């Protein structure tokens, strides 16, 4: 196709503006990455947030990830949270989604309303906190796992997917003498893998990024997830964790990194796993937005 | 409904003939329940989750009408001794904080709406006009990225940009001959920072819904418009925009329905006492006064006030959506 002069002009400006916008989206993060690589010496002579360091060093990372560091500990907490949390999320969401997808189930509509109502009305922050306190879950790993066990929106999205599975498939399996459990595991589960993968990823990212629940429920520094160690370092500096070995060595380094560089490195450490899988998971999230309607 | 039929049977006030059909309906229901017992067993544990972690807190809001003492047992929550009626609500409405947090909640939400709502539409229009697939995908991927950062990371990046200790923006200010400035503690700038950060984090992501709507437009419409001599802007204006107007209206309605959520986590991570006057919203106030200040009953009352307002707003948003011929949320 030949473009006219006007068309070419339009394309040129459209592309130029989008390139600028894209760089603006990216710039804040890139400048944090470059800050994380600046050495104390370079900081003293050039100041921070130069677009790229002349002599990039990994001092900040070494300090944060040093032997026995609280950051490593928090990584394990977060990893446990993502794995255990997502596993249980799916274990609870999948069966209920299946039950709600049974059109002939007695009481299906009131059951759906019972769940739907929780999307519109919440007890609020304080009653939730009191509940977790009364259940003796304060300072427990489970305070991060149990309260967000089922996301009602995602549950209904999963149910919508399952509504589209033809009932004849199940009926045929039952004719062949399969028990309901076998039908669920051998017929429904394999057919639902796309939606399970999608929603599993949503739960996993939710767990990786969650921080507020741990902020109010967890006191013990050793039980804090990565996001909260990051928050602590951002707001009060890395020094507060000097009781935990690894960070204590910061003053002994020949060239201790500047405080801003430590903070930046901690941001990168917290985001890196998301960044690494992001290109692969992105399309699942985009697809999920389209699964919008949740009418019963 | 069959369930109420069952109750009527128990009371025994229905005429004989209908009692017979009711009884049959009840039997039929019982037969179905027995047939599907496996399904009910599967649902039991997940439903228990909803009872404990979603509905118990709703029962727990009764502490908003009491002088709740966290050191007393659960039974204290259900005794009338500590009942104070609407005291905490009245205290909230009469306090100097009431208008401040209400104003901040609405104003911050409105700013985010006014400045943040059109941008994803414009971004989607521009991305839609790209002819190079690879470039199109790259722009999209990068623009969604900030959405996947946790709020702590996003707020950390914003802090790094704005710090007077050599943040990028202050470097720019210094390079232009100015003095480094503590942006985050400046009440005149704080809301603008919130809005800008919100746009950076969400604009790309919010454009997805419009791009999806654009993908369903019949290409023949563009060809016909081009045939009639419409240029690119005219095609955007007369073909693309009308085709996504429905998505725009629905998104707008539900954004307004969710107005009272002005960005709790974002504000909590960025604000400080020097900007409370312009940034303290209902949620942050509940957190500070209720949880940190350990005024559980008062905090629960303020939270309940917000939950009820939010429910009404959402209900109205849904009604409007239905009026417009859209299915709505329910």
Range with lowest mean pLDDT among B25-29, B37-41, B85-89: B25-29
| Among the partner residues B160, B296, B330, nearest to A126 by beta-carbon distance | B296
What does the pLDDT read at residue B229? 86
- Interchain pair A228, B171: CB under 8 A: no
What does the pLDDT read at residue A294? 38
| Among the partner residues B59, B269, B327, nearest to A295 by beta-carbon distance | B327
Q: Phi/psi zone of residue B118: left (φ > 0), alpha (ψ -120 to 50 degrees), beta?
A: alpha
pLDDT band at residue A214 using 50, 70 and 90 as cut-offs? very high
More confident residue, B140 or A258: B140
- Interchain pair B123, A282: CB under 8 A: no
| DSSP notation for A50-90 | -SS-SS---HHHHHHT-TT-HHHHHHHHHHHHHHHHHHHHH
Residue B131 has pLDDT above 90, yes or no: no
What does the pLDDT read at residue B8? 29
**Cβ–Cβ < 8 Å for A89, A290:** no
What does the pLDDT read at residue B77? 77
With helix as H, strand as E and coil as C, how does A235-262 read? HHCHHHHCCCCCHHHHHHCCCCCCHHHH
Q: In chain A, which among 51-80 make CB contacts under 8 A with chain B?
A: none
Beta bridge partners of B66: B83
Q: Does A13 touch chain B (CB under 8 A)?
A: no
- Interchain pair A47, B171: CB under 8 A: yes
Q: How many CA atoms lie within 13 A of B128 on its CB side?
A: 29
Q: How far apart are CA A90 and CA B25, in angstroms?
A: 36
What does the pLDDT read at residue B327? 62
Arithmetic mean of pLDDT over chain B:
88
What does the pLDDT read at residue A279? 83
- Interchain pair B46, A150: CB under 8 A: yes
Residue B183 has pLDDT above 70, yes or no: yes
Q: How far apart are CA A217 and CA A150, in angstroms?
A: 19
**Cβ–Cβ < 8 Å for B288, A114:** no
For B70, name the nearest residue in chain A, comparing CA atoms only: A130
Its sign, for the CA torsion A117, A121, A127, A133, is positive
- Spell out the domains of chain A, with CATH numbers in brackets: 67-296 (1.10.3720.10)
pLDDT band at residue B6 using 50, 70 and 90 as cut-offs? very low
- A9-50 pLDDT, tens digit each: 889 999 999 999 999 999 999 989 988 888 877 777 765 555
- Interchain pair A105, B36: CB under 8 A: yes
**Cβ–Cβ < 8 Å for B264, B283:** yes
**Cβ–Cβ < 8 Å for B217, B106:** no
Tell me if residue B66 falls in helix, strand or coil.
strand
Calculate the alpha carbon distances from A66 to A58, A99, A227, A231, A260 in Å: 12, 49, 18, 19, 18
Share of chain A above pLDDT 90, in %: 56
Q: In chain A, which among 200-219 make CB contacts under 8 A with chain B?
A: 205, 208-212, 216
- Neighboring chain A residues of B171 at a CB cutoff of 8 Å: 47-49
Neighbours of B95 (CB within 10 A): 15
- Neighboring chain A residues of B166 at a CB cutoff of 8 Å: 47-49, 260
Per-residue pLDDT averaged across B173-183, rounded? 86
- Neighboring chain A residues of B146 at a CB cutoff of 8 Å: 25, 29
Question: What dihedral angle (degrees, nearest 10) is formed by the CA atoms of A226, A227, A228, A229?
Answer: 50
Q: How far apart are CA B196 and CA B274, in angstroms?
A: 20
- A224-260 pLDDT, tens digit each: 999 999 999 998 877 777 666 555 455 556 677 888 8
Quote the tokens at residue B269. Answer: 């991570």
Q: How far apart are CA A244 and CA A159, in angstroms?
A: 46
What does the pLDDT read at residue B9? 30
What does the pLDDT read at residue B10? 31
Tell me if residue B205 falls in helix, strand or coil.
helix
Share of chain A above pLDDT 70, in %: 89
**Cβ–Cβ < 8 Å for A35, B160:** yes
What does the pLDDT read at residue A49? 54
Task: Tally C-beta pairs within 8 A across A and B.
Answer: 254
- A59-81 pLDDT, tens digit each: 888 888 877 788 999 999 999 99
Q: In chain A, which among 251-270 make CB contacts under 8 A with chain B?
A: 259-260, 263-264, 266-267, 270
Per-residue pLDDT averaged across A155-177, rounded? 90
Residue B4 has pLDDT above 70, yes or no: no
Q: How far apart are CA B247 and CA B245, in angstroms?
A: 5
- A178-199 pLDDT, tens digit each: 888 999 999 999 999 989 998 9
- Spell out the domains of chain B, with CATH numbers in brackets: 2-56 (no CATH), 96-323 (1.10.3720.10)
Residue B90 has pLDDT above 80, yes or no: yes
Q: How far apart are CA B55 and CA B71, in angstroms?
A: 23
What does the pLDDT read at residue A259? 84
Q: How many CA atoms lie within 13 A of B101 on its CB side?
A: 26
Share of chain B above pLDDT 90, in %: 60
Residues 6+ apart with CB under 8 A from A110: B3
Rg (CA), chain A: 25
Neighbours of B85 (CB within 10 A): 9
Q: Does A184 touch chain B (CB under 8 A)?
A: yes
Question: What dihedral angle (degrees, nearest 10) is formed by the CA atoms of B214, B218, B224, B225?
Answer: -10
pLDDT band at residue B12 using 50, 70 and 90 as cut-offs? very low
What does the pLDDT read at residue A46? 64
Helix (H) or strand (E) holding B191: helix B190-206
Neighbours of B87 (CB within 10 A): 16
Q: Does A5 touch chain B (CB under 8 A)?
A: no
Report the residue of B150, B204, B206 to disrupt the A interface, i.e. the one with the largest count of A CBs within 10 Å.
Answer: B150
- Interchain pair A102, B36: CB under 8 A: yes
Quote the tokens at residue B220. Answer: 């023949």
Distance from CA of B29 to the nearest CA of A (A): 7
| Among the partner residues A93, A120, A234, nearest to B311 by beta-carbon distance | A120
Residue B179 has pLDDT above 80, yes or no: yes
- A107-154 pLDDT, tens digit each: 999 999 999 999 999 999 999 999 999 999 999 999 999 999 999 999
More confident residue, A273 or B8: A273
Global confidence as pTM: 0.89
Determine the longest span between alpha carbons in chain B, in angstroms: 93
Quote the tokens at residue A73. Answer: 């500990």
Range with lowest mean pLDDT among A158-167, A184-193, B5-14, B170-179: B5-14
- Interchain pair A211, B300: CB under 8 A: no
**Cβ–Cβ < 8 Å for A68, A244:** yes
Per-residue pLDDT averaged across B284-297, rounded? 95
Q: How far apart are CA B86 and CA A20, in angstroms?
A: 55
Calculate the alpha carbon distances from A259 to A21, A72, A163, A232 in Å: 30, 19, 54, 13
- From first CA to last CA, the distance across chain B in angstroms is 20
| DSSP notation for B117-155 | THHHHHHHHHHHT---HHHHHHHHHHHHHHHHS-HHHHH
More confident residue, B83 or B303: B303
What does the pLDDT read at residue B247? 86
Q: Does A137 touch chain B (CB under 8 A)?
A: no
pLDDT band at residue B124 using 50, 70 and 90 as cut-offs? very high
């Amino acid at each position: 196709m030949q473009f006219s002069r006007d068309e070419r002009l339009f394309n040129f400006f459209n592309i130029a503006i989008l390139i600028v916008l894209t760089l603006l989206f990216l710039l804040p993060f890139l400048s944090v990455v470059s800050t994380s690589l600046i050495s104390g010496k370079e900081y003293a002579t050039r100041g921070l947030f130069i677009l790229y360091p002349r002599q990039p060093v990994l001092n900040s990372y070494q300090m944060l990830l040093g032997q026995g560091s609280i950051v490593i500990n928090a990584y394990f907490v977060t990893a446990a949270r993502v794995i255990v949390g997502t596993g249980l999320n799916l274990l609870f969401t999948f069966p209920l989604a299946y039950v709600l997808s049974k059109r002939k189930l007695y009481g299906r509509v009131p059951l759906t309303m019972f769940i739907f109502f929780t999307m519109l009305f919440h007890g609020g922050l304080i009653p939730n906190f009191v509940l977790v306190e009364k259940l003796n879950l304060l300072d427990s790993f489970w305070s991060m796992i149990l309260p967000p066990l089922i996301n009602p929106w995602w549950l209904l999205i999963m149910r919508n997917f399952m509504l589209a599975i033809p009932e004849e498939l199940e009926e045929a399996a039952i004719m062949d003498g399969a028990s309901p459990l076998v039908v669920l595991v051998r017929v429904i589960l394999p057919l639902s893998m796309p939606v399970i993968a999608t929603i599993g990823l949503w739960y996993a990212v939710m767990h990786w990024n969650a921080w507020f629940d741990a902020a109010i429920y967890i006191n013990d520094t050793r039980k804090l997830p990565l996001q909260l160690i990051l928050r602590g370092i951002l707001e009060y500096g890395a020094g507060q964790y000097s009781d935990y070995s690894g960070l204590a060595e910061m003053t002994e380094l020949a060239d201790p990194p500047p405080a801003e560089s430590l903070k930046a490195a901690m941001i990168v450490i917290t985001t890196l796993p998301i960044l690494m899988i992001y290109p692969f998971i992105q399309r699942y999230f985009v697809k999920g937005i389209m699964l919008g309607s949740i009418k019963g | 409904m069959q369930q109420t039929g069952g109750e009527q049977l128990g009371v025994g006030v229905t005429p004989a003939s209908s009692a017979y059909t009711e009884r049959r309906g009840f039997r039929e229901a019982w037969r179905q329940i027995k047939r599907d017992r496996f399904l009910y067993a599967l649902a039991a544990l997940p439903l228990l989750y909803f009872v404990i972690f979603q509905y118990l807190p709703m029962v727990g809001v009764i502490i908003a009408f009491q002088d709740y003492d966290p050191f007393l047992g659960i039974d204290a929550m259900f005794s009338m001794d500590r009942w104070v009626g609407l005291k905490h609500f009245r205290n909230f409405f009469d306090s100097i904080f009431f208008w401040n947090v209400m104003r901040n909640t609405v104003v911050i939400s409105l700013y985010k709406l006014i400045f943040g709502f059109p941008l994803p539409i414009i971004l989607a229009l521009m991305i839609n006009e790209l002819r190079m697939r690879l470039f199109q995908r790259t722009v999209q991927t990068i623009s969604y990225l900030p959405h996947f950062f946790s709020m702590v990371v996003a707020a950390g990046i914003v802090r790094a940009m704005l710090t007077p200790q050599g943040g990028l923006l202050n470097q720019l200010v210094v390079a232009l001959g100015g003095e480094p400035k503590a942006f985050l503690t400046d009440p005149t700038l704080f809301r603008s920072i919130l809005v800008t950060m919100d746009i950076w984090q969400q604009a790309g992501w919010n454009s997805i819904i419009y791009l999806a709507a654009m993908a369903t437009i019949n290409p023949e419409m563009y060809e016909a418009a081009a045939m009639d001599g419409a240029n690119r802007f005219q095609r955007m204006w007369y073909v693309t925009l009308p085709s996504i107007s429905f998505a725009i209206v629905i998104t707008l309605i539900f954004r307004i329905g969710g107005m009272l959520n002005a960005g709790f986590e974002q504000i909590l991570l960025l604000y400080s006492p020097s900007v409370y006057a312009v940034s303290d919203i209902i949620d942050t106030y509940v957190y500070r006064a209720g949880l940190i200040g350990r005024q559980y009953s008062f905090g629960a009352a303020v939270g309940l006030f917000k939950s009820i307002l939010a429910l009404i707003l959402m209900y109205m948003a849904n009604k409007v959506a239905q009026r417009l011929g859209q299915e709505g949320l329910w």
